[in-house]
Amino acid sequence: MAQVPIEERCQQLREVLKGTGRVALTYVDTPIWEPIAGSEGETELHNAETGPAGLWGEPPVRTAYALANAGITAVLDQLSALEILTQPVAPALATTVVARSAIEIGSGVWWLMEPRIGARPRVARCGAEEMESALRANQAATKLGGGPDLQEYLDQETRVRARLTGLGLAVTGGGFSPSVDGEKRPDATTLTTDCLGQILDHGSVVVYNVYSAITHGTLYGLMQHFVEDPTDPTKLTWTSSLPVMEASVQVALVACLLSVDRIIEVMGWDPTAWNDWKPDVGGAFP
């Protein structure tokens, strides 16, 4: 890409962030996703799965879709945050921290909405997400001392386990990420690498580690934002970085694109508008 003034480049990035959010919302911005007739999603809603509590029907599958809906809503919100933060003069760490959140949430949606896995694995993956959330909520409430005000969080694990048992989905394994019917959520590094690797190839291996290093205040992450003072080579100056900003926007967009791709495919929605927009995203990062 030819060198352009930083103001112009930031404007380009803001436009692609805004446009991606605008087009994505035309698909996902509804409380209940309705798959079209003959789609994979419709087949899942009409599943014949049973458990001790009886026929599944639509609710367990719709719960999985609702979880994906919440996730992609959060990703699009983070794209809006990046749009605000992408400025010629910006806080040094801000875009990286927001992008890390976007890629972690987006990769979870990407995993949950994998096409052609069927109703049972999708519901099991949703259950694995719910179990991890419930276990962590219990941990936090317990550390705060419990009590009536926190009972909702203390009871989540019991409720989720009971519902999964009623569906005939066994919860196995320990820690904060148990398996549900054999489906176990990959750790964040593996999941983001697998997701981003669909487009970024080998670069995806280090993205999450580097972004986590910055978010966690690891020295090698923070040192990316110190540069030699042009007026005094014995000093380092804390600064924002356009290449870091560009990379942050790019990886967040990749996570969003891949997640929405899978949502559209499973729901059987017409991808024309989405596919027509994607070259504009690619064109911003030649």
Beta bridge partners of 232: 229
Question: SS3 for 48?
Answer: coil
Mean pLDDT confidence for 251-266: 98
Count CA within 13 A, CB hemisphere, residue 18.
10
Burial class (CB in 10 A: 0-12, 13-18, 19+), 264: buried
- The pLDDT value recorded for residue 164 is 98
Give pTM, 2 decimals: 0.94
Q: 204-215 and 94-112 are packed helices; what angle lies between their axes, rounded to 10 degrees?
A: 130
- pLDDT confidence band for 205 (50 / 70 / 90): low
Name which of 135, 144, 84, 102 is nearest 248 in CA terms.
102
CA distance 90 to 222: 16
CA dihedral (259, 187, 206, 201) positive or negative: negative
The band of 169, judged by pLDDT with boundaries at 50, 70 and 90, is very high
Find all residues with CB under 8 Å of 257, minimum gap 6, and list them: 20, 199, 278, 281
Q: Return all residues near 23 (Cβ < 8 A) that are at least 6 apart.
A: 273, 274, 277
Answer whether residue 2 shows pLDDT above 80: no
Residue 253 in contact with residue 281, Cβ under 8 Å?
yes
Confidence at 200, pLDDT banded by 50, 70, 90: confident
Instruction: Return the structure tokens found at 136.
Output: 């962590």
Q: For 30-65, how does the pLDDT look when each residue is reduced to its tens digit (9 = 90+)? A: 999 999 999 999 999 999 999 999 999 999 999 999
Q: Where are the beta strands (DSSP E) in 65-143?
A: none
Identity of the amino acid at 21: G
Average pLDDT over residues 202-214: 78
pLDDT at 208: 79
Per the CB < 8 A criterion, the answer to whether 110 and 259 are in contact is: yes
235-258 residue pLDDT tens: 998 888 888 899 999 999 999 999
Percentage of the residues of the chain whose pLDDT score is greater than 90: 79
